[in-house]
């Protein structure tokens, strides 16, 4: 088992579309050399121990996949034989549980469920041949998970060391009407000009995800430290003590001294109560108040902050209003978007303002010219993070950045 822990292989960290450049910066900050960048993932080389570290620290990834083999396969039988050749008895407990998920796009298979089923058969048949019994199987991804990649003739098999997607941090039991996924919220925060020593203001906070993720980043809290379960915990080569030590050492790095000014508000007291509970579970201190966004006032600290001393970082105000596509009435929201622009112009001079929206028509109602437009995807909906310079006195030029992501 020791050799399996130290054997180097390809590690694929998957993520949402347009996130790979941010995920790449995370991996490089952790000391890894990126081998390839794909539309929905970033590839590095590493060991199974590295997978544990990545599950602990990555903020914008969905899954950490460790490759066990790569072949050419043209038929379902060829796929079965290739997968069956892996020593699954060394990876998955015979009395355990295994689920197969994957990405299949090959002419020889027109049913993804069939491909996953044949892959599952190859795995459990190998274990039964060696051990005499086979693990249970099904759709539950909270235990051992195998990831099948089969595009055209290219076949790759991975163990999914994350299991449940990393975007499920474990702190958000209560959520608003359309909560932003935690990994997306982290990517949004890391794309702003905010730094932990500056105010972060988030009206219309909803379930508080943006503010909580900002606090986790500001305090250098490993996002994986809050989770109880990972896929690697159900893999035979992994020693639980290695994870416990790694987690303990990471928590010891948490910066408890920095004075974070993360101010979140919403006009719904029930939503604010839920957001406070989410922050409590995440172990972060975020100021949540009940207030209409039109009444929000930036903290006094920001008004006296000298921007010329730190051109790269600025205080940030960010809002994620309803889009009028899935939630809200578009006509009524035109006024809301205009009032967001008015708020930014009148009260947040000296800040960098952001609006995250999936309705580009409504975005025009803000009445401010955006300096940057960053594309994100929320599920299947294309969205934009719009950046506005809200000048304090003479115009100041700020270089673009992707956030302080050093753990």
HEC profile of 214-275: HHHHHCCCCHHHHCCCCHHHHCCCCCHHHHHHHHHHHHCCCCCCCCCCEEEEECCHHHHHHH
**Structure-token match 């730094």, residue found:** 195
Asked if 318 and 202 count as a contact pair (C-beta separation under 8 A), the reply is yes
The phi and psi torsions of 308 (rounded to 5 degrees) equal -60, -20
Q: Which helix (H) or strand (E) holds 50?
A: helix 48-57
Q: What is the CATH number of domain 182-219+260-389?
A: 3.40.50.150
Query: What pTM was estimated for this model as a whole?
Result: 0.91
For residue 13, CA distances in Å to 37, 239, 364 come to 10, 22, 35
Give the CATH number of domain 2-160; options: 3.30.470.20, 1.10.8.10, 3.30.2130.30, 2.20.25.90: 3.30.2130.30
Token readout for 216 is: 């986790």
Number of Cβ atoms within 10 Å of the Cβ of 67: 17
Orientation angle between helical segments 240-251 and 48-57, nearest 10 degrees:
40
| Residue 333, SS3 per DSSP | helix
Helical (H) or strand (E) element with 123? helix 112-131
Give me 46's structure tokens.
């590493």
- At residue 310, the pLDDT reads 54
CA-based end-to-end distance of the chain: 29
Which distant-in-sequence residues (6+ apart) come within 8 Å of 329 by Cβ?
A: none
- Element spanning 125, H or E: helix 112-131
3-state secondary structure of 103: strand
Q: Alpha helices of 67-107 — where are they, by DSSP H?
A: 76-84
Q: Look up residue 324 and give its DSSP letter.
A: S
Residue 180 DSSP one-character state: P
For residue 323, the model assigns a pLDDT of: 82
pLDDT at 392: 62
pLDDT value for 137: 96
Asked if 88 contacts 82 with a C-beta cutoff of 8 angstroms, the reply is no
- Which DSSP category does 91 fall into? T
* pLDDT tens sequence for the chain (407 residues): 556 767 899 999 999 999 999 999 999 999 999 999 999 999 999 999 999 999 999 999 999 999 999 999 999 999 999 999 999 999 999 999 999 999 999 998 888 899 999 999 999 999 999 999 999 999 999 999 999 999 999 999 999 999 999 999 999 876 556 679 999 999 999 999 999 999 999 999 999 999 999 999 999 999 999 998 999 999 999 999 999 999 999 999 898 888 899 999 999 999 999 999 999 999 999 999 999 999 999 986 544 444 444 568 999 999 999 987 555 577 789 999 999 999 999 999 999 999 999 999 999 999 999 999 999 998 889 999 999 999 764 333 433 333 333 33
């Amino acid at each position: 088992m020791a050799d399996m822990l130290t054997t180097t292989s390809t590690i694929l960290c998957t993520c949402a579309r347009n996130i790979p450049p941010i995920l790449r910066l995370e991996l490089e900050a952790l000391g890894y050399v990126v081998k390839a960048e794909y539309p929905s993932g970033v590839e590095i080389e590493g060991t199974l121990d590295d997978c544990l570290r990545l599950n602990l620290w990555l903020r914008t990834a969905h899954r950490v996949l460790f490759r066990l083999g790569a072949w050419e396969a043209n038929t379902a039988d060829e796929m079965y034989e290739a997968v069956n050749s892996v020593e699954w008895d060394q990876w998955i407990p015979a009395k355990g549980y295994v689920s197969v998920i994957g990405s299949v796009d090959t002419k020889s298979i027109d049913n993804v469920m069939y491909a996953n089923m044949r892959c599952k058969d190859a795995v459990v048949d190998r274990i039964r041949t060696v051990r005499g019994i086979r693990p249970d199987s099904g759709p539950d991804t909270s235990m051992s998970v195998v990831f099948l990649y089969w595009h055209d003739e290219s076949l790759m098999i991975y163990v999914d060391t994350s299991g449940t997607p990393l975007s499920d941090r474990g702190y958000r039991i209560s959520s608003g009407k359309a909560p932003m996924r935690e990994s997306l919220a982290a990517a949004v925060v890391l794309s702003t000009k905010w730094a932990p020593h500056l105010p972060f203001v988030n009206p219309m906070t909803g379930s508080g995800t943006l503010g909580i993720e900002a606090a986790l980043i500001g305090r250098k809290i490993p996002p994986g430290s809050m989770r109880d379960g990972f896929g690697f915990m159900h893999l035979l080569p992994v020693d639980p003590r290695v994870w416990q030590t790694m987690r303990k050492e990471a928590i010891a790095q948490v910066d408890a001294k920095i004075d974070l000014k993360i101010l979140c508000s919403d006009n719904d007291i029930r939503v604010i109560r839920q957001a406070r509970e989410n922050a409590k579970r995440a172990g972060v201190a975020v100021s949540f108040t009940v207030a209409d966004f039109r009444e929000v006032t930036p903290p006094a600290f920001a008004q006296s902050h000298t921007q010329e001393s730190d051109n790269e970082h600025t205080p940030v105000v960010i809002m994620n209003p309803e889009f009028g596509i899935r939630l809200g009435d578009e006509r009524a929201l035109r006024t809301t978007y205009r009032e967001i622009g008015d708020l930014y112009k009148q009260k947040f001079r000296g800040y960098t303002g952001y609006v995250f929206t999936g309705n580009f028509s409504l975005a025009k109602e803000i009445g401010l010219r955006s300096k940057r437009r960053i594309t994100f995807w929320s599920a299947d909906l294309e969205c934009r993070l719009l950046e506005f310079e809200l000048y304090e006195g003479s115009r100041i030029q700020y270089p673009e950045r992707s956030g302080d992501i050093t753990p």
